Amino acid sequence: MRAMPVFRRSRSSKLVDRLMRGVLWSIAILFVVVLILFVGAILKQGWPVLNLSFLTKMPETLDAGGGIKPQIFNSIYLVVLSLGLSLPVGLGAGVYMAEYAGKGRTLNFLRLCIETLAATPSIVLALFGMIVFVQAMGWSFSIRSGALTLALLNIPVITRVTEVSLLGVPRELKEASYGLGATKLQTILKVALPYAATGILTGLVLTAGRAFGESAILVFTAGTNASAHFPDFRLTVPGETLSVHLWYVTSDGTLPDAREIAAGTAAVMIIVLLSLNLLVRLVDRIIRRRTR
């Protein structure tokens, strides 16, 4: 019989292991610190401006002391409209790709299209929206031009998230469903989608956050003016959002308190995004507790 070697781990391999752990920790901490400083700076600058009148007043065009009420409304309205348009399309496309397309060329081609669309810079989508909706369709700068173009930004993300979440559903669960005599549609609706729901929901909130913060697309499609009526649900009026307002007041330069308004607007956006992310965590936890 051959003699067995002595299996001893070298000192350096333990050291490298520890070192790696330290490096990863430092990167994580650095990242969190930067984030806190960043958010802190925005909130600190915006805090003195944030009060009820800032949130509930109409903006001024020349004088100081204007509010951001219609911009808050437009931001939310556009996110809801664009998600309303992109959710059915994205969800449907994702279900098709995960469950119906089968493997092969068609699926690869579809995935390439979706990924290209997802990677398209938003300014390109913005110009597309301006040429097609604003000019060719003659809708000018309006909520509907903005919502449709914004939907183009959302669709690939929702599609991909839906597909990936559905592919993560364990095969055993689908087999159990088929084994009981379920059809494909029943299996998708009753087993696969509920299981994938938390993943899809998370993706949806991330999409909502991205749409909420989007500026380039909306500058060119929804415009830089807000309706003088409130709340204005018409789809044909221009709809300046928070992020567009933030950009517009600082670059236009006619408002004496542009800096303060920008700081306050940025703070509001950060607060909304943070709450949105906390909300999704909460919902996710509740769903998980109920179903797993």
Partner 1 sequence: MLIPTVPETKPIKLSVRNMAFSYGQKKVLDGLSMDIHAERVTAIIGPSGCGKSTFLKCFNRIHEVSSAVNVSGDMKIDGVDIYRGGIDEVDLRRRVGMVFQKPNPFPKSIYENVAFGPRLFGVSDRTTLDGLVEDALRKAALWDEVKDRLKESATGMSGGQQQRLCIARALAVNPEVLLMDEPCSALDPIATAKIEDLITELKESLTIVIVTHNMQQAARVSDYTAFFWLGKLVEMDLTERIFTTPRVQMTEDYITGRFG
Q: Can you give the binding site for partner 1, defined by CB under 8 A? A: 170-183, 186, 190-191, 195, 291-292
Report whether 275 contacts 178 (CB < 8 A). Answer: no
Cα separation, 166 vs 101, in Å, equals: 13
Report whether 91 contacts 151 (CB < 8 A). Answer: no
Report whether 214 contacts 247 (CB < 8 A). Answer: no
- Complex with partner 1: residue 177 or 207, whichever CB lies closer: 177
Q: Compute the least distance from the CB of residue 92 to partner 1, in Å.
A: 21
Cα separation, 62 vs 159, in Å, equals: 44
What are the CA-CA distances from residue 288 to residues 134, 162, 194 (Å)? 43, 17, 10
Please give the helix or strand (H or E) that residue 73 lies within, else none. Answer: helix 69-95
Neighbours of 69 (CB within 10 A): 18
- Complex with partner 1: residue 61 or 183, whichever CB lies closer: 183
Cα separation, 73 vs 98, in Å, equals: 36
Cα separation, 147 vs 138, in Å, equals: 15
- SS3 annotation, 44-72: HHHCCCCCHHHHHCCCCCCCCCCCCHHHH
Please spell the DSSP secondary structure of 157-210, one letter per residue: HHHHHHHHHHHTS-HHHHHHHHHTT--HHHHIIIIIHHHHHHHHHHHHHHHHHH
- SS3 annotation, 24-46: HHHHHHHHHHHHHHHHHHHHHHH
